[in-house]
Each structure stands twice: as structure tokens, then as C-alpha cells.
Amino acid sequence: MVERTHAEHMPRGLFGHVTDAFRPISDNFRLMLSHLDARERFEYSIWRMTDPRGRMSRIADQFIRASGSARAMVVVVTLRGEDGVIRAFTVARPGVYQGARVEVRTGDRTAVRVFPNEVFEVDEAAAIFYTYYLTDQVAQPYQLREEDPADTAAVPLLWSHAESFNGGEFQYLTGDEEPVADHLRTILNQADGKRRFTYSIWRMTDPDDLRADVGDYIQAGGSAEALSIELGYPGPDGAQRLCTLGHPDQPVEPTTTVPISTDRAVRVFANEVFTADEAAVIFDEYYRTGRVSGILTRRELDLAAVLSEPR
């Protein structure tokens, strides 16, 4: 095993030592860089540690960092100049800087605009990292361009929708851990009518405020075996509308109640009860298109009335 001389900041925000305990160092760089997705895992960096006992402190912010995705990443290295000042440089393939700038997302709300010869894929970036690991330098024939703050731009958040559980627990609907369709199915199947009652999603109008919307949303309440689904939207007159969705080909009677909190329930018709898997399909279509299937029945609710009853 090689001596632990370097530390790493991994894509999921974890710190560790660069080690060959599990795989060769060069393969480790390739693996870590392959995890970058420009959605949740934006950066990977390494640096030489100052403490031989293994504390992961940097030498005056000298490091090499890759940002972006496995298919399109920017590599930045910091070096000390003859004047003793640490400066950041963008690594590039040899040649003239030309062509339209390429925008590479480097964070939730940031991107950097670089030249085409400054964009790398995993294998080439891993080789640059390995050379830096061995020499503390970026080898020829690569060239360096000092970073320009003007190259960094603010970009909108990737996430278009937000989600809420039990009328609270607001968060972005990202699809990072699993595809959105699978996530919706997972969450709706967690409804138990005891602690997990309601789930809703909506398209955000203000990325800085998860709760901001224009009245368009879809929500479900109950348990995985029996969910009621409601669709909210502004009507042609601008007034808020709310309707309960139903199966088009099932008997309407009898009515039943679906719990939406520890002490309240909504009364729905028999054809307005869905399983979690059925609801997930409807939620996914709403997420992708902003609409629900036209074959579903819609029963408009009177928002001036009390819409729930004691359990």
C-alpha cells in the first residue's frame, strides 16, 4: 500500500485519503470522476496533505479539481507563481483557444463558460489527475489559462418541481437518488394512513421559494392501498379550482373515506380510490407534461365548503 500523501473531496461531499487499498490510484481517479453527474455530484478534488500523520489539510489551497459531469468536465489546478501568489488555472489541450464557449454546470446555480479544448471526459481527466498526484504539476502538452471570474455565470436551478409530505417537509423533486417515476412510486407506496397521509408535487415559480406556485399542483392522500387524488389549477377566470380524479370505467357507488391526517378524512366515491402504483403513473404524467390523462373523471369540489370530516 502506498503512503497516504494526498486527500480527496469526493462527489457526495465526503473527504478521504487517496489510497490504493481497494484499487490502483489511477483507477480510483477514474472511478471518482465517473460519478460526476452535474446534478448532485458536481466536483472531485485532491491535494497533497501537509500533515504526515494523515490530517487532510491543504497546502495553501493548492489542489486540482474537476467540475461538471463524467462526459463534460472542467479541470482546474491552483499553482504558486514566482510572486508567491496562489492562482487558479483552467487546464486545456494544446492548441489555439477558439470556437464557441461551452457552458459546463459546476453547481446548483453556477456554470463556467470555457473553450472546447478545456472540456474533458473521464479517462483524460483521470490521467491528468494521476500525473498531478505523482508530480504536483499538470504535464505537457497540456496548457493552462488563468481563471477569469467573468467566465462564471449564474444559471437556473435544475429542479423544476417541488414536493411536500403531510403538508410540510418541503424539498426539491430532483430524481437524484432514483428516476423521478421510481421516486414517485416509492413515496406513494410509503403512505400508510397513520403517519404518512398526504403527498403533493407542483412546478415551482421561484427556485428560492419551494412553496411558490401558481395554483397548479397534484396531491394524494390516504394509504398505499387506497389513495384519493386531487388536482389543483387556476380556472379561466383566474379563480382556484380543485377536483377529485377518478377511474372512468368503475362503479361510482358506494362512497368511502380516505384519511388525510390523524383526525380528518375525505369522503370519495368508489371510482375515486387508487392504489399507490396507479397514482404513481398519474403523478409521473403530471410531472412530465403538467397534465393528467383526459380519460380520468374530474369531480370539482366547492372550495367554500368543508372538504373533510372527522375520522
Q: Is residue 1 part of a domain?
A: no
Is residue 47, in this structure, part of any structural domain at all?
A: yes
- CB contact at 8 A, 114 and 151: yes
Distance, in Å, from the CA atom of 45 to the CA atom of 83, rounded to the nearest integer, reads 25
Domain final residue, candidates 117, 139, 154 = 154
pLDDT reported for residue 57 = 58
pLDDT at 104 over 70: yes
Domain boundary among 121, 154, 187: 154
Please write the tens of the pLDDT for every residue from 187-240: 999 999 999 999 999 988 876 777 777 789 999 999 999 999 999 999 889 899
Do 113 and 175 lie in a common domain?
Answer: no
Residue 241 lies in a domain: yes
Residue 11 above 70 pLDDT? no
Nearest to 232 by CA among 222, 224, 223, 221: 221
Q: Based on the domain organization, do 177 and 234 belong to the same domain?
A: yes
Report the percent of the chain where pLDDT is more than 70: 95
- The answer, as to whether pTM is greater than 0.85, is no
119 inside domain: yes
Mean pLDDT for the chain? 89
- Number of domains into which the chain is organized: 2
Domain check: are 207 and 98 in the same one?
no
pLDDT range class, residue 53, cuts 50, 70, 90: low
Distances in Å between the alpha carbon of 118 and those of 45, 101, 145, 280? 17, 10, 9, 42
Tell me, yes or no, whether 84 lies in a domain: yes
6 contacts: CB under 8 Å, gap ≥ 6: 17, 18, 46, 47, 48, 49, 133
Q: Do 205 and 95 reside in the same domain of the chain?
A: no
Q: 230: helix, coil or strand?
A: strand
For residues 212 and 141, membership in a common domain is answered with no
- pLDDT, residue 31, reads 95
306 and 182 assigned to the same domain: yes
Share of the chain above pLDDT 90, in %: 62
Same domain, yes or no: 232 and 271: yes
Outline where DSSP puts E strands in 107-216.
110-114, 143-146, 152-154, 161-165, 168-173, 198-203
What pLDDT is recorded for position 133? 94
Angle between helices 25-34 and 122-135 (to 10 degrees): 140
Q: Are residue 273 and residue 293 in the same domain, yes or no?
A: yes
Containing structural domain, residue 124: 6-154
The last residue of a domain, from among 113, 129, 154: 154
